[in-house]
Structure formats: C-alpha cells, structure tokens
Amino acid sequence: MTVRAAKVTAPGTVELVSIEDPPAPGPGEVCLELIACGICGSNLHHLNHPELIGADRRDNPGALGHEAAARVVGTGEGVTTHAVGDLVALEPQLAAACGACEGCGTGMTWFCRHPRTLPVWGLADRFVVRVQGAWRLPAGLNPLVATLMEPMGCSVHAIRATALCAERLDDLSGVRVAVLGAGATGLLAVAAARYLGAAEIVCVARHDHQAALAKSMGADRVLRDRDEDLVTELTAFAPDLVVECVGGRAETIDLAVRVAAVRGEISVLGLFDFPQPVDARSAFKRELRMVFPVVYGQVRGRHDYEIAAELLNSGDLPVADLITHRFELADVQRAYAVAGAKSGGVVRAVVARTAADMTP
C-alpha cells in the first residue's frame, strides 16, 4: 500500500509522489493522518535554493511540510497520552529529537545532538512521529487554524527569547514594539506582542491587504515600508523592542538598529540570503541588544506552543483570516506556485489532504 507525499524533486519543482505506507508506530510513537498543512517560507527556500535541498539534518531530501494539523490513527506501545481520533499539531523539533541528549534535556530540541531523519513531513497522507511531537489541540481549536501553531510558536519565541521579555516574565506591559514586515510571520509577531500585553505596537507593511491584517492582529499603527518619513516616524516612536520579520535581501537589520530606543532590543526572526552588515557604532552608542531566536522550545518552564495554542484558541484575534488560500494535496504544485508568487493577496496558503478537510 502506498500514500501520497509532496517532495522537491529538482530545484524549483515540487511533485506529489507515491511512497510506501509508513510502518506501524513503534514504542512511544503515533501515526498521524494529515488534515492540513501550511506552506511556510522555509519550504519556499527549500524549493527554490538547490543548496538547501536535503541540507536539514532532520529531513529526508526533498521532504516538505512542517505546519501540519493531523488526527491520530494509530498508537505504539507505551503511549498513554494520546488516543486514536485525537487532533494534534506537529511540533517538528520534538518529532525528530532523540529525547535523551543535553539539548533535549533543556527543552530546546533544535539543539538535539542525535536527531532522527524522518522519511516524510507534514505534506503526506500519513506519517509516524514520536508522540511528543504530536501536540494535542485544545478543545474547540479548528484544525485549519492549528496549521498556524508552528509559525505562531516561532513568533512567540522571537519575543520570549529577548532579554527584555525575560526580565518582565513574559509581560510586555509598558513596552513599545515595532514589527518590521507584515507577511505571515510579521502578522503573527504582532498578534504575539499583543497577546503578551505590549503597550503599543507599530507594524511596517508593504501591501494594502497586509496593512489591514496588521490592524486586525493588534497593531495600533501601520506604516508603509516605502514612506519617505518611515525612519523619522519609527525613531519618534522609539521602540523598546524591534522584531525583524522580513529577511531575504532586505536592509531591515540596518533599519532596526537605526530606530531602536536607547537600551532597546532587536529580535531578528527573518532569514537572510546573505551576511548582513551591522552599524556597530550606532548600536554601541545606544547600548542595543540583538538576539537571533531559533524556532521554539521550552522557555522559563513553558513551551512556546502552549502560548501559541492559547492565543490561537482565545478568539481574541481573527487569526483565521491569515489563511487566505486553500488547496487539496492533489493540487500541491499550484499551491506552491501561488504561495511563492506572493501575489493575489496571499498571506498563508494551506494544503488539505482532501476537499472535505478544507472546512473541518
């Protein structure tokens, strides 16, 4: 018996291929059946940059899909926390971690010394992972919205990883936050800052639809990235925390350093294509701090996914509006084309296993 899986078969080419059905889950494992999976920026990098194909030590070359919501269809020996029928979100680092090394012991499984290579990821009909990597959804959370759990975890972690947030024990009361970029990552960072109690949030957006969504996610003010007075306005705002969410080839690290408040902090969440220059003299004069957060994990006794799940399920923000495009797994090639084009108002494209899974 075979199942379908989306894989990068050549630079710029994603195909739906047939692979062997995964074996029955072993001790401490669960078998998951896909409901839906988002297409993230790292997947697009994976697709378009040949040097990245197969470079992730956790991935089988070409495997795609980290933002998955699924249902449990099988459990292995010793699994008592999950049952067949449970709805879960994939926590990719826990899914592939060894669970025994120093990195796993600290709760930051990105630094696992002995990660497993999984044959497929979330863009497949079925897949088997460690039970710890199947994060049970809170009652009432729509599985399509749960595809945002992974990127929401990244944005939550980008704020919680800062010294500023640690000093305040995750309470941003009184803190001014500027978010540079209003793609899915930036919009989720706005939502995270609002949920953690930021006093005022300014978001810098490029497109009209992004600006509207930034307001709905909790931004008090939205500036446009091509405004002539952008630097002047951000400098006057004097953000205590700047969250950079653009990456690529943008000059947003330089912008963050120029506008951060005295003794402010910069969290660099965007992935850049090339090494970035930093105006160290300007940063020195204002005693700025800069952090480069890595995905998500356990911080101060709480996993970032806990906060992400609470936020997504709270009903306080219209997070479902970020899912702008839906496709069936059979149409994964078109899904990637639309997601990569960044046109037509796309914010997050989601791929569902079947048409029936598009509106569970």
Domains in the chain: ranges and CATH: 2-147+318-358 (3.90.180.10), 153-291 (3.40.50.720)
Residue pLDDT, tens place only, 305-348? 999 999 999 999 999 999 999 999 999 999 999 998 866 789 99
Residue 162, exposed/middle/buried by CB under 10 A (0-12, 13-18, 19+)? buried
Residue 113, exposed/middle/buried by CB under 10 A (0-12, 13-18, 19+)? exposed
Residue pLDDT, tens place only, 177-196? 999 999 999 999 999 999 99
As a whole-number percent, the residues of the chain with pLDDT over 90 amount to 81
Rg from Cα positions in the chain: 20
Phi, psi of 64 (to 5 degrees): -130, 150
Amino acid type, 240: D
Query: Locate tokens 């669960």: which residue?
Result: 30
Residue pLDDT, tens place only, 207-226? 999 999 999 999 999 999 99
Q: How confident is the model at residue 10 (pLDDT cuts 50, 70, 90)?
A: confident
Answer whether 184's CB lies under 8 Å from 265's CB.
no
33 Cβ contact list (under 8 Å, min separation 6): 70, 71, 72, 73, 125, 126, 353
Q: Catalogue the E-assigned strands of the chain.
A: 2-10, 13-20, 29-38, 67-75, 87-90, 126-130, 134-136, 176-180, 200-205, 221-224, 241-244, 265-268, 289-291, 298-299, 302-303, 323-328, 348-352
Answer whether 193's CB lies under 8 Å from 239's CB.
no
- Residue 274's pLDDT is 87
- Residue 52's pLDDT is 53
CA 10 to chain CA centroid, Å, is 25
Chain mean pLDDT for the chain: 92
Containing H/E element for 187? Answer: helix 184-195
Window from 5-14, 43-52, 202-211, 244-253 with minimum mean pLDDT: 43-52
- Residue 316's pLDDT is 92
Answer whether 225's CB lies under 8 Å from 159's CB.
no
Strands 241-244 and 176-180: parallel
Mean pLDDT, residues 124-138:
95
Q: Residue 230 — left, alpha, or beta (φ > 0 → left; ψ -120 to 50 → alpha)?
A: alpha
CA 317 to chain CA centroid, Å, is 17
Mean pLDDT, residues 31-59:
74
- Residue 124's pLDDT is 93
Comparison of pLDDT for 61 and 292, the residue scoring more: 292
Six-digit token string for 345: 């108002």
Give the residue from 323, 306, 311 showing the smallest Cα distance to 135.
306
- Residue 61's pLDDT is 58
User: 55 pLDDT exceeds 60?
Assistant: no
- Residue 68's pLDDT is 96
Global pTM reads 0.94
Rounded Cα gap, residues 50 and 34, in angstroms: 27
Rounded Cα gap, residues 255 and 276, in angstroms: 12
Six-digit token string for 50: 């040949």
177 Cβ contact list (under 8 Å, min separation 6): 159, 193, 198, 200, 201, 202, 239, 240, 241, 242, 243
As a whole-number percent, the residues of the chain with pLDDT over 70 amount to 95
- Residue 59's pLDDT is 58
Mean pLDDT, residues 70-86:
97
Window from 50-59, 154-163, 254-263, 276-285 with minimum mean pLDDT: 50-59
The SS3 call for residue 150 is helix
Q: How confident is the model at residue 233 (pLDDT cuts 50, 70, 90)?
A: very high
